[in-house]
Amino acid sequence: MSPRLTCLPRRPFISLRSPISKRFETTVTRQPDAISDSRWLGTIKARIGKCIMFGMSREQARDAGKILEVLGRDWRELLAGRHGYLVDKKRAGLSRHKVVWGEMDCMKHINNVMYIRYAESARVNWAQNYAVHIDPQNQEKWRRMCTPEGYGMIMKSIKTTYLFPMTWPDHISVYHKLTYKPKSKAETSFKLDVLIVSELHQRAAARCEEDIVTYDYVKGKKEGLQPWLLDAFAKTWDEQNAAMNNALKKIKDIEEKVRKLEVDTWDRADAVEDMGTPNKA
């Protein structure tokens, strides 16, 4: 005779997913890491696709088309801007940069070392963007930040997290953001977060964390953050928070519109799928 199994009391279900209102709260102390919600774009498109496949009225189809238009136009902002990255071309370290075949390894995906090279190249361009577009009054100082000619940057450490194996052919965009707001000239370093985005898959392929030391090459020692650098970073931090809040508002609006489409099409008690049969006369 087999032993009797003791029935354990049922535990109440506890969702691991926070309410929408909580998910869209923002903070100015540290912006969220880019690893979260990395597949949101694909998921929201799949949800719209399910509504379309079930069957829509013309008005619903127009609404779906408007949402897809926003996703197609603003996907970089929705993907990266939600984490505080500034995605316009004057800010991007690399914008739609072509991935070449020789960057793949024997496993037929982009070699891990290449992601670090992408981040390093983008960081130099990030500083040059300040010189040209953002802080032109200190243009020469920004240009020299990437040279061993005076006050500049030295990489202390870089950490890379690989999110999915990217392959050729593809294009990438690479964005940098301040991890936190530097506040004092006594600080001799600052940290940057990096997001490497696959244009083909419209997904984050990798993210990096960079620790940058400010160094005086003439004196041969670390140097504190200079006032012009602190001023530029303070403005950038505010812009990062504004970009994050704008992106999260757009995402919330899209979520609400897609949910309405679902309720109006397949997710209701009397829903009947449109099988494409002609109406009877």
User: Structural domain boundaries of the chain?
Assistant: 32-263
pLDDT of 215 reads 97
Q: In angstroms, rounded to a whole number, what is the distance separating the alpha carbons of residues 198 and 205? A: 6
DSSP-based three-state secondary structure for 49: helix
pLDDT number for residue 24: 41
Q: How many CB atoms lie within 10 A of CB 51?
A: 23
Return the closest-CA partner of residue 276 out of 46, 37, 54: 54
The per-residue pLDDT for 23 is 43
Cis omega (within 30 of 0) for bond into 169: yes
CATH code of the domain made up of 32-263: 3.10.129.10
pLDDT of residue 268: 87
pLDDT for 273: 76
AA letter at 119: A
pLDDT at site 1: 52
Look at residue 152 and tell me whether its pLDDT is greater than 90: yes
Mean residue pLDDT across the chain: 89
In DSSP terms, which residues pair with 189 in a beta bridge? 213
In degrees rounded to 5, what are phi and psi of residue 35?
A: -75, -25
**pLDDT at residue 29, rounded to an integer:** 58
Cα separation, 112 vs 103, in Å, equals: 9
Can you tell me the distance from the alpha carbon of 205 to that of 165, in angstroms, rounded to the nearest whole number?
7
**Model confidence pLDDT, tens digit, residues 172-193:** 999 999 999 999 999 999 999 9
Those residues with Cβ within 8 angstroms of residue 28's Cβ, 6 or more apart along the chain or in another chain: 181, 237, 241
Residue 269 has a pLDDT of 86
Helix (H, G, I), strand (E, B) or coil at 87: coil
Matching residue, tokens 């087999």: 2
DSSP state of 9: P
Tokens representing 217?
């090459």
Is residue 9 scored above 70 in pLDDT? no
Q: What's the confidence (pLDDT) of residue 278?
A: 61
The region of weakest confidence among 11-20, 81-90, 139-148 is 11-20
Mean pLDDT of 16-27: 42
- How many Å apart are CA 245 and CA 84, to the nearest integer? 8
Q: pTM of the full predicted structure?
A: 0.83
pLDDT digits (tens, 9 = 90+) for 104-136: 999 999 999 999 999 999 999 999 999 999 999
